[in-house]
Structure formats: structure tokens, C-alpha cells
Structure 1
């Protein structure tokens, strides 16, 4: 009986973690959709304002807006974003979800890397990186 109870508890913990992981991943994916919508609408200040303090320490609001304006001017709006790799890292401080997207813009392509701190069903942007040779060549 005790062995059965141990197996049952292990399965319950695994299922709880799996559901939690799926919810955290879904929360981060929703934020990527919001990011792209705000990007397309030129709401760069809103993206910056909603990001985590750690993100905002990397650049001033004006620097971020200027960068995003350059990206949009050169590459255009997002036409398609296909999620590639994802990674969830758990620590005592919370969960970090990293997502990679192969993104097609109106005037080029790039690989976007997003980092989100996730707590419950809420994800907050902590990192963003765009690699695009089209951005450099235009």
C-alpha cells in the first residue's frame, strides 16, 4: 500500500508540474502576441512600460523606442511569427520562460528571442533580442 501511495504522489506531482509548465508557457506566448500587436501599432513605449524593472535597466525608454522605431522602419510590421525553441527555468525566485521565434516582417526576416518572468498566469518581459541580417542591410 505504501508503494502505491508513493507512486500515486509522484504521478500527482508530475501532472501538477506539467500543467503548471503548460500554463506558464501559454502565458509567455500570449505576451509575445501582445508584443507583436503593440509593435505593429507603434506602441513601443507601452511595451517598455509593461516590461520588468530588469528589462528597463538595460536601456532608457527613449533608447528602446528609438531602436524599435528603427526596426519597424527597416523591417516593417510582423507578418508571421513561428515559435521555435522554448525553455523553462525554475528557481527560488520564480520561473523564467525563454521563447525563440522565426519572424517574417513585411520587409525581411529575423529571429526573435523573448525572456519572460512568469508567476502564475502572468508573464512579464525581462529580455528581448532580434537577430536579422535584413535589419543590418537596409
Structure 2
């Protein structure tokens, strides 16, 4: 009888321990699942090579030089992605065309690729000579569905004393 008592008691405690471990494990999983921390990842690849201009950049400069910036995006392009950035990019292109004139020469001074949850972004930086001055251009393309689209353009020019970007308003540089 004594043996049976210890056997039942030992089984009860072992079962209780197992359930307690299960409850603790369940609690840890529940806390981890309800955690509000967003797991963010991004990979950034940069290079500073002197390669010839990309065909996309040559196309942009061709539109800029011929003052046909409104043709950068097709009229039938009604995708909701970056609709607010497109008219700004066209405005910057037209502004650059009117103030600095056509492109004379350009060379790549660096690239950056960012891979994140929002997508893959390629940023290309160019040192560009225009008829009436020089500037540093930055083009950002977003890759989606095996196609890349220009989503941001930035121009910094000492001649105009401005930094003009599609991601912000026209900002006059202060002399410092």
C-alpha cells in the first residue's frame, strides 16, 4: 500500500511539473507573439566607381536637355505608387532645364542599394556639368515586379545656391 501511495504521489507531481513547464512555455510564446517590436531589416550596399552613365540616367538627361520633362512618365501610368513624387520630379527636371540648361557631361560618383521591407532601392549619384553650371544629382529607383521606377531625384548646385529634392521642398542653402 505504501508503494502505491508513493507511486501515485510521484506521478501526480511529475504531471504537475509537466503542466507547469507547458504553461511557462505557452506564456513565453504568447508574450513573444504579442510583442509590438517591429523587426526591421535592411541591407545597404555602396560603391564609389567611375562607370559610364546608366541608360536610365541618359534617358532622363535627354528629356531634361530637350525640355520634355513631362514625358518622363507615360500619361497612362495610373499606378498609385509614388503618385505624389512624380509631379515633383517633373517640376525639378523643368526647373533644372530652365536654369542650368542642357547636360554637357556626366559621370557616376557612387551607388547605394538598400533592401528592406519596403522594397529594393537603388540610388545613383552623378556629378553633372550643365551649360550654365555644375551640380550633383542623386537618382533613386525602386525595383518592383522586375521593373525599376524613378521615385526620387535630388539636385545640389552651387551656381543656384540650392538643394532641390523630390522628397522635400525647395530649400535655399545658407552661407556657412
Scaled by the length of structure 1, the TM-score of the pair is 0.64
Give unmatched runs, 5+ long, in structure 2.
1-50, 163-176
**Aligned residue number for residue 59 of structure 2:** 34
> 1:63-113: CA deviations, max 9, x gaps?
654543332122110011110110111124431100100000011000001
Q: What is the 5 A alignment of 1:75-90?
A: 75-90=100-115
Question: For the Cα contact (< 8 Å) 1:55–1:127, is it kept in 2?
Answer: no
C-alpha RMSD of the superposition: 2.9
Relative contact order higher in (CA < 8 Å, ≥ 6 apart): 1
**Contact 2:89 / 2:153 at 8 angstroms: preserved in 1?**
no
Greater helix share, structure number: 1
TM-score, with length taken from structure 2 = 0.52
Question: Residue 53 of structure 1: CA displacement?
Answer: 5.0
Aligned length: 108
Counterpart for residue 139 of structure 2: 114
Q: Is the 8 A contact 1:87 1:98 kept in 2?
A: yes
SS at match of 1:73: helix
Instruction: Provide the rounded CA distance (Å) in 1 between the counterparts of 2:143 and 2:110.
Output: 17
- Quote the residue 1:11 is aligned against: none
Distance (whole Å) between structure 2 residues aligned to residue 78 and residue 131 of structure 1: 15
